[in-house]
Amino acid sequence: MSREGYLVFVDIILLVSIAMYSLAFGIGTRNSQQEWLEVFFPEPLFKPGSELISQIAEVLDYDGGNRDIDLDDEKIQKLIDGIDEPRQKSILSMMKGSSKPRIATFIESDTELSSTPEAYLKLHLLSYRYVKPNEQNLHDIYAILPNVAWTDIGAVDLAELGDLQLKARTQGRVLEVAGIDKFPKMTNYVAPTGVRIAHSARVRLGAYLGEGTTVMHEGLVNFNAGTIGPNMIEGRVSQGVLLDSGSDLGGSGSTMGTLSGGGKLVVSIGKDCLIGANAGCGISLGDRCTIEAGLYITAGTVVQVLDDNKNFVRKAKARELSGQGDMLFIRNSQTGVVECRINKNAISLNESLHAHN
């Protein structure tokens, strides 16, 4: 086979073998040991076309797999010259000449996480709405992500924080430390369209916020959790929980995620549901369900099931009702017994509150 024929053959094999899940060019922060603390991926590519993959692979000698490849100005210029995608060329042009470390991250298959940049890319994909909560493998993300001091000069390794604080003091200023956490706030990386977020520190990178969602000051949305939109969030959406459109999580209300006592149970909330103020939910709800204010329904809560005439049907644990629609959970004010009635008064959200154009 001629050299030209061989190169064509290699290109064909590359295009056939690499069905890319995601790739992105990023810029971020490393500590003094050259370990990644965080990575910002502007406009990552989700399931990009084979031609673009081939162009990038040729420049970076990428031959498949989940990989991180460091970029310098020379490689960046070659990418600018070698790819056809206008927006990615523009992003690379803005990165060129920066003293901050830059990287290309490839995720060929959705396997377990192997690096901090890969974890950050998957979190970006959630907040960009390319994937919904629980659709990616995020196993052991806490073991992969470093714990970081988030300051007014960016991410800082905790072991290096003290010296930087001292240096700031000698210059007559205070180094502001907004938090110490493995996850940054979402809005420093992704600002989704059509949402309102009253307090940005309460929405982590990796949250999924659908169009029309409002997160009020005390609302919190964890990573790998979120809303289809439109939704009103005044309580806590825990890791793994997804609220369908039209549902309202009342003030200080709570959903039980896999990190907050739910174990492996994945809680989902259907359409047009209401979890009242100071209430909580540890089971999945179908559409048009209501939990009255102050009532926390866990999987083991004993519930009296009533028919539409409020006649007793049976006694059950709430887990047996998980996923069903048109349920109203209420505590009988005379007996204190938790009842599940047919919900005849499904809520509807105020449309003007959720038009965030």
Sheet with 236-237: strands ordered across:
220-221, 236-237, 254-255, 280-281, 296-297
Kindly report each contact of residues 152-161 with a partner whose C-beta sits within 8 Å and lies 24 or more positions away, as own/partner: 152/176, 152/178, 154/29, 155/28, 155/29, 155/37, 155/38, 155/184, 156/37, 157/31, 157/32, 157/35, 157/37, 159/31, 160/31, 160/32
Helix residue ranges, H only, the chain:
3-17, 50-60, 73-82, 86-95, 116-127, 141-144, 158-170
Residue matched to tokens 């009103």: 232
Give the pLDDT confidence score for residue 352 in this predicted structure: 42
Residue 182 and residue 339: Cα distance in Å, rounded?
41
Residue 228 near residue 246 (C-beta atoms within 8 A): no
pLDDT per residue as tens digits for the range 252-282: 999 998 665 555 678 999 999 999 999 999 9
Which pLDDT band, with edges at 50, 70 and 90, does 1 fall under? Answer: very low
Q: 97: which 2 tokens?
A: 């000449």
Which pLDDT band, with edges at 50, 70 and 90, does 357 fall under? Answer: low
Which pLDDT band, with edges at 50, 70 and 90, does 308 fall under? Answer: confident
Give the pLDDT confidence score for residue 7 in this predicted structure: 43
Q: Residue range 80-92: average pLDDT?
A: 98
Average pLDDT, the chain: 92
Report the predicted TM-score, pTM, of the whole model to 2 decimal places.
0.91
Closest by Cα among 57, 70, 181 to 117: 70
pLDDT per residue as tens digits for the range 119-142: 999 999 999 999 999 999 999 999
User: What residues does each domain of the chain span?
Assistant: 3-141, 149-181, 186-354
Q: What is the CA radius of gyration of the chain?
A: 24
Q: Which CATH architecture has domain 149-181?
A: 2-Layer Sandwich (3.30)
Closest by Cα among 290, 230, 289, 225 to 256: 225
Residue 305 and residue 322: Cα distance in Å, rounded?
13
The CATH code belonging to domain 3-141 is 3.30.70.2010
Q: Active-site residue numbers?
A: 234
Q: Residue range 317-322: average pLDDT?
A: 96
Q: Which amino acid, one-letter code, is at 274? A: L
Q: Report the range of poorest mean pLDDT among 109-123, 236-250, 262-276, 334-348.
A: 334-348
Calculate ∠ Cα 305-308-310, nearest 5°: 60
Q: Does domain 186-354 have CATH number 2.40.110.20?
A: no
